[in-house]
């Protein structure tokens, strides 16, 4: 595991984007695992800029997203499909058919989970998986639990996760109660994992994830078993690292 700490979030965003851009330049048909939430927004802006400056093309890139809310239409402003369109896909030359997000509107959820796992297999191994970190240690929407799922599955969101995501909605009632998430097995299968963590509120959970026991109660702690994890944090998360 390699840990890099940055003095500010802007610098961190640029480096996170540079990791993915370097991969795509070296391997134009790379498979990227993508995340949503506030964490990747700055990195996606840098990727859009690089495309607009003509220094990269995504025309052969394939993407798979980690998760989606159950019950939000694809054009709902807070659906993760809509987030990806607005933040990234609409501004680069990626082919729409090469972008994959679970369908949270599927009537048969079990079938949708199976379909998404088939989609994941068809793309081949994810070259780089971008991950944010939930306040409770979740990655994707793999919430702390007595057991974790290997494959794509439906998740009941924990009250603290719904509260944390309330900021994107008008009220807590509007925050979906369920989501579909890529399983831990699929996440850990990626060749490289880029874990990006910002803000003092995440310091304690990042410490537990990186240095605590490996436990299903902190899903991100399973990353300790992955051979190639790059962790990017800002000073608020790792003040010791920034202050020597
Ligand atoms: C969300 C997403 C995660 C994300 C995490 C942190 O609910 N399902 O993929 O990494 O929670 O979100 P944020 O980046 O907004 O702090």
> Could you confirm whether 170 is annotated as catalytic?
no
Contact 163, 169 (CB under 8 A): no
Residue 197 CA to ligand 1 center (angstroms) comes to 10
Q: How confident is the model at residue 238 (pLDDT cuts 50, 70, 90)?
A: confident
Tell me, using a 6 A CB cutoff, whether residue 140 lines ligand 1: yes
Atom index in ligand 1 nearest the CA of residue 132 equals: 10
1-25 confidence digits (pLDDT tens): 899 999 888 999 999 999 999 999 9
> Could you confirm whether 91 is annotated as catalytic?
no
CA distances from 24 to 29, 66, 203, 242 (A): 7, 19, 31, 30
Contact 56, 63 (CB under 8 A): no
143-195 confidence digits (pLDDT tens): 999 999 999 999 999 999 999 999 999 999 999 999 999 999 999 999 999 99
Residue 112 CA to ligand 1 center (angstroms) comes to 22
Residue nearest to atom 12 of ligand 1 (CA): 37
Residue-wise DSSP of the chain: -EEEEESSHHHHHHHHHHHHHHHHHH-TT-EEEE--SSTTHHHHHHHHHHHHTTS---TT-EEEESEEETT--TTSTTSHHHHHHHHTGGGS---GGGEE---TT-S-HHHHHHHHHHHHHHH-S-SEEEE---TTS-BTTB---SS--SS-EEEEPPHHHHHHHGGGSSSGGGS-SEEEE--HHHHHTSSEEEEEE-SGGGHHHHHHHHHS---TTSGGGGGGG-S-EEEEEETTT-HHHHT-
Q: How confident is the model at residue 241 (pLDDT cuts 50, 70, 90)?
A: low
Atom index in ligand 1 nearest the CA of residue 140 equals: 9
**Per-residue pLDDT at 124 exceeds 80:** yes
Question: Chain-wide mean pLDDT for the chain?
Answer: 96
The model's pTM is 0.96
């Amino acid at each position: 595991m390699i840990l890099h700490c940055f003095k500010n979030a802007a610098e961190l965003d640029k480096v996170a984007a540079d990791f993915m851009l370097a991969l795509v330049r070296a391997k134009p048909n790379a498979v990227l695992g993508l995340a949503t939430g506030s964490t990747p927004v700055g990195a996606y802006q840098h990727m859009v800029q690089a495309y607009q400056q003509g220094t990269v093309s995504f025309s052969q890139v394939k993407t798979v997203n980690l998760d989606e809310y159950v019950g939000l239409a694809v054009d709902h402003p807070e659906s993760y499909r809509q987030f990806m369109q607005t933040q990234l896909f609409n501004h680069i030359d990626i082919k729409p058919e090469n972008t994959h997000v679970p369908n949270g509107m599927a009537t048969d959820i079990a079938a949708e989970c199976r379909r998404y796992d088939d989609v994941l297999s068809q793309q081949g191994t994810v070259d780089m998986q971008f991950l944010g970190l939930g306040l409770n240690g979740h990655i994707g929407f793999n919430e702390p639990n007595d057991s974790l799922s290997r494959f794509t599955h439906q998740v009941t969101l924990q009250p603290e996760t719904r509260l944390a995501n309330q900021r994107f909605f008008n009220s807590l009632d509007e925050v979906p109660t369920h989501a579909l998430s890529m399983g831990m097995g699929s996440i850990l299968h990626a060749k490289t994992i880029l874990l990006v963590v910002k803000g003092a509120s995440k310091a304690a959970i990042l410490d537990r994830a990186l240095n605590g026991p490996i436990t299903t109660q902190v899903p991100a702690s399973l990353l300790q078993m992955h051979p190639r994890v790059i962790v990017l944090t800002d000073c608020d998360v790792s003040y010791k690292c920034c202050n020597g």
